[in-house]
A and B are shown apart, each in its own frame.
Chain A
Amino acid sequence: MLSGVSLIILGISLCFFAAMSANQHLINAGIGSAVIGTVLIAFSLSRREFESMILPYHEFLKEVANFMEIKKAIYIPPFKGFPFGAVFLASSDEFELDLARIEKGTPFVSGRERETGILLEAPGREILRKFEEFAELDLSNYGTGVSEICSSVLRALGLAKGVEIVDGDELRISISNAGVDFCSSECRLIQCPICSSVLLAIAKAAGELLAVEELRAGEKIEIRARKLGGIEKWM
């Protein structure tokens, strides 16, 4: 974008000086520079195809989450009926989850206020399959080394430049140059397939449930997540 604007400014200046000195070759240089600048800006302004495809679904999920007053997203590693894991969108911060009671095919989980929410197969599950195809192994209990697999696959697919995971008291995940521009702090509740795939991969690799605490969208997407223990704890 910046280089495009610089080229246009350079082109206009060249045309101006060329007109002053009646130099035809310099006018050509000015016009050419302005045209290249405009082409660069045109391509940098364009929304990427991936974003155009997923944005309507992402917005729909956000509307559903708003309607259901979702408070937290919890990523669940694979368990019965969900071979690639799932995401539980809890309606309460103090949620209660009984995985033994959950069945595939009933996305709306009812019960007491703390138990209600939506259970979805995570939007990033197909990308998670790509992670496993690439690594040629099952990511279960792989550990935080999964960040390298995520980075390689997302970079190859043109969806992000890199993924870093810092495992401390909390998990800190940063995703650089994600292939979408609509990221915001609201994505703490509903994640796009890119963030979702990384969170799902970590949940599977750690073998623990993950609660997304915070998501900051800036130059990098920074996610703060908390480990909630293994599947057995929630059965």
Chain B
Amino acid sequence: MDVEEIIALSIALFVVLCFVLVESTEIFAVLLLICLAASLQLAGFFIPREAKVVLKSLVYLLLIAFIGIVVRKALEVLR
């Protein structure tokens, strides 16, 4: 099994595990963000450049969702 396949499989397993264990969509999205960011940071050396571009875009998308979640929670607290 290639390193790339192991990375893809690890991400997929983490996503499935999160889906099974987590109820809230907000926490699920944040966990996905952590998973992808950690994978990029830890296994970035083994991830091909083209795949890195796609994964980074996905991280930015989830980061926007994360900012939305944080802002919403902050507004809830302020009210």
B12 x A45 contact (CB < 8 A): no
A33: min CB distance to chain B, Å: 8
Inter-chain contacts of B15 with A (CB < 8 A): 32, 35-36
B6: min CB distance to chain A, Å: 11
Inter-chain contacts of A158 with B (CB < 8 A): 2
A177: min CB distance to chain B, Å: 14
Which chain A residue shows the least CB distance to B58?
A38
Total residues of chain B contacting the partner, CB 8 A: 28
A24 x B23 contact (CB < 8 A): yes
Which chain B residue shows the least CB distance to A18?
B25
Which chain A residue shows the least CB distance to B55?
A42
Main secondary structure of the interface of A (DSSP, over half): helix
Can you list 21 A-B contacts (CB < 8 A)? A25-B23, A27-B25, A32-B15, A32-B16, A32-B28, A32-B32, A35-B11, A35-B15, A35-B36, A36-B15, A38-B58, A39-B8, A39-B11, A39-B58, A42-B50, A42-B58, A43-B4, A45-B51, A46-B48, A49-B48, A158-B2
